[in-house]
Amino acid sequence: MRRSLPRSVTLAAVLLAGCDFYYDRVPSPDDLLKLVPWFDHMIQSPAVHPYESASVPRNTVPGTVPIDRVEGDWGAAWNGGQFAVADGIKNPLTDASVIARGDTLYHIYCGVCHGQAGAANGTVGPRMGAPSLLTAQARGRSDGHIYSLIRYGRGVMPRYGDKIPSADARWAVVTYVRKLQADAPVAEGHD
């Protein structure tokens, strides 16, 4: 007479032999975090209330009146070669307190093409054909024109309005460019 193993031993052997079925179904801690609808610290995130900050660029809806320093959109006119709107814009940040911020932003975004001092001798500038910011023509541009170049781009200059989204930050760059121009002699050539 042959003896068989007890059923519990047989069941345990089957379960232990097929451990992979359990391993593949263990929930990940990442999946568990998705079940929590809200954390207390999330209310501090700028993504929760994106339009409560003045640093978010917003264009006004056509036919409405902007309030609270929301700038309009003159991109269509700018891209069409009509510079009257851009040339009419005045720099609201002309004091020296913004030069340090403009210096930092210029060296992050502009120096690679226009060079450390604006002479178009940056790492990429000569290959791209970046213009010097120190020529008489560049100095003759209005602050609004330089601001529009930063915001919308033109020619070989790419658009930086999405990379420097704050209007005050773009004006700080314009103020710093004016400082570079004041500190250097007029360069030969054109921009």
Q: How far is CA 143 from CA 2, 57, 82, 92, in A?
A: 100, 19, 16, 10
pTM for this entry: 0.62
Token digits for 165? 């989204």
The percent of residues in the chain predicted with pLDDT above 70, rounded, is 70
Instruction: Tell me which amino acid residue 119 is.
Output: A
pLDDT at 178: 94
51-54 long-range CB contacts below 8 Å, 24 or more apart? 54/166
Query: Whole-angstrom Cα distance, residue 112 to residue 7?
Result: 76
Across 40-49, 104-113, 120-129, 141-150, least confident range: 40-49
pLDDT band, residue 21 (cuts 50/70/90): low
Q: Which of helix, strand or coil describes residue 17?
A: helix
Chain-wide mean pLDDT for the chain? Answer: 80
pLDDT at 60: 60
pLDDT at 120: 92
Mean pLDDT of the 155-162 span: 89
Chain segment 88-102, per-residue pLDDT in tens? 888 888 777 889 999
Instruction: Give the distance between the most distant pair of CA atoms in the chain.
Output: 110
DSSP secondary structure letters along 58-118? -PPPTTS---TT-----HHHHHTT--HHHHT---S--SGGGHHHHHHHIIIIIHHHH-SSS
Contact 132, 138 (CB under 8 A): yes
Shortest CA distance to 168 belongs to which of 101, 78, 116?
Answer: 101
Query: Whole-angstrom Cα distance, residue 56 to residue 46?
Result: 10
Query: Whole-angstrom Cα distance, residue 43 to residue 18?
Result: 45
Token digits for 78? 């700018």
